[in-house]
Structure 1
Amino acid sequence: MKKHKLKSYLKLGILLFGISILITNCEKEDVNVVEDNSTANPSISFKRINESEFLSNKKAKEQLKAFNNNSVSNINILARTVYNPTYDFTVDTDYANYLEYGNYHSYTFSVIRDEVNNNLIENFVLNLQNDGTYSLNLY
């Protein structure tokens, strides 16, 4: 009978010990989070814009015209595309991805080629430079 009582007390002790360990390990820790909402760290904003929003930026519109060799015959207004025969690709200007970070912003357009390569995705990007002009890049 003493062995039975000893086993019962031992089981009860192990159970209480296990519960106490479980309770102490599941306590919520106090963490102090410091939020810095200063203007020194600007946030990144991203949005999809349509052609009319892009065309409201006169400098970017002029850079795209310069890329198009100032040839109005290469601009397809109904399809909203710009074709450059020198580089042999078409820029879809129907929609663009607009990225802004502080004083910097860029426009990213889809590129369409006559020869389809399923393994390749190309984008035409206008990046704002420090002097206010845009660099034109194909990625």
Structure 2
Amino acid sequence: MIQLWLGDRSINNISLAFTSVWRYTGFNFLIFLGAIQSVSPEIYEAAQIDGASRWDEFKYIIVPSIKNIIFLNIILGISGSLSVFDIPYIMTGGSNGTMTFVIQTINTAFKYNKTGLASAMAVILLIIVVVVTLIQRYAVRERKEG
């Protein structure tokens, strides 16, 4: 039996999500690798002298040192997921239950020739992304102060 990864409504969005994860894995790997390499080697050496295990190094040195990068990736991931367009549009064209808000906005503008409504939709999406980003930044700021 042939599995229709994009034709089966019960798994097509999961297939698109895995495609997106695969696409951004390299980017996230490089960002985290650069952040981890920016931690001073003397800190690792001091931790090893004090008898810290690898888990302790990760928990008490690496994670606090790259906390800003972690939160940046969370903000980019959530903002990107709100405005996802390319993967569903290329793979399914928004059919079979994979229509996103951005694809609907593009269809409204160019397929149905309602550019005013599409512009309003784009402004609403911008407002949603800005509000979610501000909420995330506020939550991160609260965690730093607390």
* TM-score, normalisation: structure 1: 0.21
Higher helix share: 2
* TM-score, normalisation: structure 2: 0.20
| Higher relative contact order, structure no. (Cα contacts within 8 Å, ≥ 6 residues apart) | 2
Structure 1 or 2, whichever has the larger Rg, is 1
